[in-house]
Amino acid sequence: MTHDYLVITPDDGQDVLRCLAVPARLQILKLLHASGSMNVNEIAARLDLPQSSASIHVTALEEAGLITTTSQKARRGSQKICTAAHAEILLSFATPQETTDAIEVAMPVGLYSGAEVLSPCGLCSDSGIIGYLDSPATFLNPERMRAGLLWFTRGHVDYQFPNNARIAGRSVTELELRLELSSEVPGTSANWPSDITIDINGIPIGCWTAPGDYGDRRGTYTPAWWKLAGSQYGHLKSFRVTAQGTYLDGVRVSDVGLAELNLESHHSIRVRIAVREDAANPGGINIFGRGFGNYDQDIVLILNT
């Protein structure tokens, strides 16, 4: 099951915000979500718009990346079929933390921009389970924003970080991703390896084999309501990309360097956390965020400049 979300900030999302400032375009998006793909004439008829106006609005939505269109043969020539591009559009006001040389953004684990997961899977906040256990559709639940722990067997979650270095006109000398991870098994097992792969901007940078899923003791920050038989904590991992290559906890794991990530060309930095179908050890994943595990932190991206 695939869910596509668009995360924008006030800095990089101005084109989208300007497009959505027109009420008719919001109505078109609502119609496409409610009724599915439609051609321009159908949209004009349903919303009582002149066909010429509907065409202008559709073009604006397409240019902003809010809808996709395909050309389909009709009785006279061809017609444009319109489809909503995103399940949700999220405006983030998260403020980056800056030092003289570094820009840091902390991303809540539930604020993913896309997800394709297989059960067993689930999400929970510091106060309880979110949605239904072992239902990939739960990853659509708006309450996911409150998640402090998520898990799945195979698949991936995508996160879209603002490229604040580009916005600030600063050159990146090193990128670091920090997050707490473990494998995922029904119950727990300290010996349950899982290959967890990290991609940045579509480029696989490295793979870490999580040794197990731990339930021998309660995580330092894991809430008391979460049963001890559930995943309690993981390992805090650091993936660091430099000009010379990628390092996992200081050990070189790949030749992928900053040049391959092409950071200067993107307004956002896309991070994918995955357990791939072809993994040698497909043992699932737990991603611990604030309020769970041994480290009270979200997924942290640091750009050294």
pLDDT (tens place) for every residue of the chain, 305 residues total: 345 667 777 777 888 899 999 999 999 999 998 889 999 999 999 999 999 999 999 999 988 889 988 888 877 778 889 999 887 787 777 655 555 578 899 999 999 999 999 999 999 999 999 999 999 999 999 999 999 999 999 999 999 999 988 888 889 999 999 999 999 998 889 999 999 999 999 999 999 999 999 999 999 999 999 987 789 999 999 999 999 999 999 889 999 999 999 999 888 999 999 999 999 999 999 999 999 999 989 999 999 98
If asked whether residues 253 and 112 sit together in one domain, one would say yes
Strand partners, 61: none
Residue ending a domain, choose from 72, 91, 110: 91
Question: Minimal CA–CA distance to 59: which of 48, 50, 68, 49?
Answer: 68
CA–CA gap between residue 167 and residue 188 (Å, rounded): 43
- The verdict on 112 and 79 lying in the same domain is no
Give a yes or no: residue 164 inside a domain: yes
Considering the entire predicted model, what is its pTM?
0.74
Comparing C-alpha atoms, which of 215, 271, 219, 211 is closest to residue 241?
A: 271
54 with 159, same domain: the answer is no
Q: What is the CATH number of the domain that holds 292?
A: 2.60.120.260
Domain boundary among 37, 70, 91: 91
In whole angstroms, what is the distance from residue 232 CA to residue 203 CA?
A: 30
Domain that holds residue 132: 102-304
- Which of 91, 116, 144 terminates a domain? The answer is 91
